[in-house]
Chains A and B, each alone.
Chain A
């Protein structure tokens, strides 16, 4: 028996479906970013430029917050760079996945996000890993930028994204992506240690640093037998 409602071809690809789920959540946040940034006094063109060229939600919201509160642009830049420093160890971990040729590497690096890293890390085989990275990176870049532009024009039509619970969607999705990696050897121990270290450090360090402190959990990794 054939179903009348055929699933669209794209939704039958599990990876694409998963990527689109996260990209939709990112779009809701992007809409709100566009509105908040303009409300903070950052011009529409500059807000769109931030999403295109910085392309890092945390740092962009931080910049809007700092500028909106009358803070200096230097503080926004320093704070944003601190938040984004985690991309260095991320890039070291998945360097080969980002792209092998110079152009692929240059473009691939720009779309590096926590989500794209998590999507690729969940897949051990190099080919599917690369596909996961490219799809997640591209989908998030496109949805984030289109949503920012709409948010800039439409303002806060969607209201606070927290109303839709998207702030819970991201950590839950990341946990789901991280799970397969945790089943290998001492990864679970390192993950738990890293999570605890970051939470303990959070009250004392500026945004971005607690996550880097989590690297201390590598000491929990057993030496190679």
Chain B
């Protein structure tokens, strides 16, 4: 990575991060639109969860990771503390890998 490339990536990323808040500070958004904007964030986060749980690149990540995420998801559903959810997910996946599950 040249310094120019690092600067381009950093500035481009920052511009995209700043765009939303800047626009929202200038424009008053009607409640109906606001609802769609929140739902858009929900759709994006759900997509991130699904792809991060199941895929490595465009391929299936193997069973250890989704199994750990599933354990965490069930615990979250049962309203266990967030720390427990995160640690149980990691521990399950780590244990499965230790046992040779990819």
Residues of A within 8 A of B (CB): 14, 17-18, 21-22, 25, 42, 46, 49-50, 53-56, 59, 63, 67, 73-74, 76-77, 80-81, 84-96, 98-100, 105-106, 108-110, 112, 114, 117-118, 121, 162-179, 181-182, 186-187, 190-199, 202-203, 207, 210-215, 217-218, 221, 224
Note all chain B residues with C-beta closer than 8 A to A50: 1, 6, 9-10
Are B47 and A195 within 8 A (Cβ)?
A: yes
For chain A, what secondary structure do more than half of its interface residues adopt (helix, strand, loop), or is it mixed? helix
Q: Do A53 and B6 contact each other (CB < 8 Å), given the known contacts A84-B16, A211-B48?
A: yes
Note all chain B residues with C-beta closer than 8 A to A53: 6-7, 10, 14
Contact of B6 among A49, A213, A221 (CB under 8 A): A49
Note all chain A residues with C-beta closer than 8 A to B37: 89, 92-93
12 A-B contacts (beta carbon < 8 Å): A42-B1, A77-B12, A80-B9, A89-B41, A92-B37, A92-B40, A98-B20, A171-B50, A171-B72, A194-B42, A210-B51, A221-B35
Note all chain A residues with C-beta closer than 8 A to B13: 54-56, 59, 80-81, 84, 87
Are A194 and B47 within 8 A (Cβ)?
A: yes
Are B39 and A175 within 8 A (Cβ)?
A: no
Q: Do A86 and B46 contact each other (CB < 8 Å), given the known contacts A42-B1, A165-B90, A168-B68?
A: no
Interface residues of B in 83-100 (CB under 8 A from A): 83, 85-95, 97
Chain A residue at smallest Cβ distance from B50: A195
Are B52 and A167 within 8 A (Cβ)?
A: yes
Interface residues of B in 1-55 (CB under 8 A from A): 1-10, 12-14, 16-25, 32, 35-55
Note all chain A residues with C-beta closer than 8 A to B32: 224
Q: How far is the CA of A186 from the CA of B93 in the complex (A)?
A: 32
Q: How far is the CA of A73 from the CA of B9 in the complex (A)?
A: 10
Q: Kindly provide the distance from the CB of B28 to the nearest chain A CB, expressed in whole angstroms.
A: 11
Are A169 and B46 within 8 A (Cβ)?
A: no
Note all chain B residues with C-beta closer than 8 A to A86: 44, 48
Are A59 and B16 within 8 A (Cβ)?
A: no
Contact of A199 among B1, B9, B10, B50 (CB under 8 A): B50
Are B20 and A89 within 8 A (Cβ)?
A: yes
Q: Do A77 and B48 contact each other (CB < 8 Å), given the known contacts A85-B16, A121-B38, A193-B43?
A: no
